[in-house]
Amino acid sequence: MSNRTFTMIKPDATSKGYTGAILDQIIKAGFQVKAMKWIKLSEEQAGLFYDIHRERPFFGELVSFMSSGPIVAAILEKENAVADFRKLIGATNPAQAEEGTIRKKFAASIGENAVHGSDSDENAIIEGDFFFSKLERF
Ligand code: CMP
């Protein structure tokens, strides 16, 4: 069990002005920000980040959406970070997300689902390393 996870606030949420409210909910849930950047991915970068999904039918849609506008990428720290963060954001499909979760409140669809959260400790490290150098985290 690791105490760090990785998140992105996705282009649907940044464009609708939800960034502040989402960060507020994350911080109030006890997560500390250990690295953060506001960045716009190219299609190539989005494809590399989601490389594991390359063969899925929704890959093209995912890459074009994730490079359509700015995102906020962050490394978060809390005891049991990966599992607790996935609980806080709710199910991938907002229609199935529990009341009060970030996706229930801020997401419109399975494709445009407001936030990403790492699904394992191993992926949290890989995903954090994708965005942040050692100098950019503490
Ligand atoms: P995320 O947790 O960032 O990881 C992979 C993303 O693929 C997921 O959130 C969704 O946004 C997206 N995704 C998963 N399933 C579908 C689908 N059926 N159609 C479109 N996008 C999907």
Sequence spans of domains, the chain: 4-136
Torsion of CA 99, 28, 5, 54, to 10 degrees: 40
Q: What percent of the chain has pLDDT over 70?
A: 99
Residue 6 banded pLDDT, cuts 50, 70, 90? very high
List the residue whose alpha carbon is closest to atom 21 of ligand 1: 111
| Active-site hit among 4, 10, 34, 116 | 116
Assigned superfamily of 4-136: Nucleoside diphosphate kinase-like domain (3.30.70.141)
Q: How confident is the model over 44-77, as pLDDT tens digits?
A: 999 999 999 999 999 999 999 999 999 999 999 9
Give me ligand 1 centre to Cα 111, in Å. Answer: 5
Phi, psi of 62 (to 5 degrees): -65, -45
Q: How confident is the model over 96-109, as pLDDT tens digits?
A: 999 999 999 999 99
The reported pLDDT for the residue numbered 100 is: 98
Spatial separation of the C-alpha atoms in residues 109 and 32, rounded to whole Å: 28
> What is the distance in angstroms between the CA of the first residue and the CA of the last residue of the chain?
19
The reported pLDDT for the residue numbered 2 is: 75
Give me ligand 1 centre to Cα 113, in Å. Answer: 8
Q: From residue 69, how far is each of 26, 53, 88 by CA, in Å?
A: 21, 20, 24
